Amino acid sequence: MRDRIIHKSSELFLTLGFKSVTMDDIASTMGISKKTIYVHFSNKTKLVEAVTFTLFENICDGIDCICETAPNPISQLYDIKMFVMQHLKNEQASPLFQLKKYYPSIHDALKSKQFEKMHESVSESLAKGIETSVFRPNIDVEFIARLYFNGMTGIKDEIIFPREKFNMHYLMESFLEYHLRAIVTDKGMTILNNFINKNQS
């Protein structure tokens, strides 16, 4: 039952927002009593926390699978972008913005976990790219891994990139190309151009 509550709550939170959805809404949608939810979660904050980190773990598992099977680091980044976009497709209520506003401690803990995960995977990807000659050998892996995280986090800031001017697909696509153009070799540029041309066709 706990997993069912998390799954249904995830759908509601991503569609309607963390603030808007009440425990009554969740109970009503699931056809259970509110008491049943409170058996597993003492309050809404605990439920929001469980939903947030379950979603995070699911995304991490998907990214790990991509990292294990991608033929090269450029393909890996594009595959991860597509995977993340699939997860974001049902978001209609700016959940990250609401999480930061109404549940700041959960937001900060999530950001810390996201940094650890992304820093590790991006650093490994950069090292592999240098090793396979698709990224320049003189790049500063530690600096660029942190810069990439900062950029991916920054494009989700709706104050700087309002959704009425920039949709998330455009932002992720443009930032990824911007990032890769700065670090690829001629060999890497050929691979990158293939992805750019494929996405434009």
**What is the reported pTM?**
0.83
- So what's the pLDDT on residue 188? 96
Q: Is the pLDDT of residue 124 over 70?
A: yes
With beta carbons less than 8 A apart as the criterion, state whether 147 and 92 touch: no
One-letter amino acid at 176 equals L
Query: Closest by alpha carbon to 1, among 64, 67, 47, 45?
Result: 47
Query: Closest by alpha carbon to 105, among 32, 28, 145, 52?
Result: 52
CATH number for 44-200 (one of 1.20.140.10, 3.30.70.330, 1.10.357.10, 2.170.190.11): it is 1.10.357.10
Domain spans of the chain, in order of start? 44-200
- So what's the pLDDT on residue 94? 72
With beta carbons less than 8 A apart as the criterion, state whether 127 and 138 touch: no
- So what's the pLDDT on residue 163? 83
Q: Tell me the H-state helices in the chain.
A: 2-16, 23-30, 34-40, 44-69, 73-88, 95-102, 104-131, 141-154, 168-181, 186-200
Mean pLDDT of 23-27: 96
pLDDT digits (tens, 9 = 90+) for 42-97: 999 999 999 999 999 999 999 999 999 999 999 999 898 888 878 766 555 577 77
* 135 phi/psi in degrees, rounded to 5: -115, 150
- So what's the pLDDT on residue 96? 77
Q: 86 is written with which tokens?
A: 């699939």
Spatial distance between the Cα atoms of 83 and 61, rounded to a whole number of angstroms: 11
With beta carbons less than 8 A apart as the criterion, state whether 56 and 110 touch: yes
140 Cβ contact list (under 8 Å, min separation 6): none
With beta carbons less than 8 A apart as the criterion, state whether 148 and 122 touch: yes
Q: Is the pLDDT of residue 41 over 90?
A: yes
- So what's the pLDDT on residue 197? 84
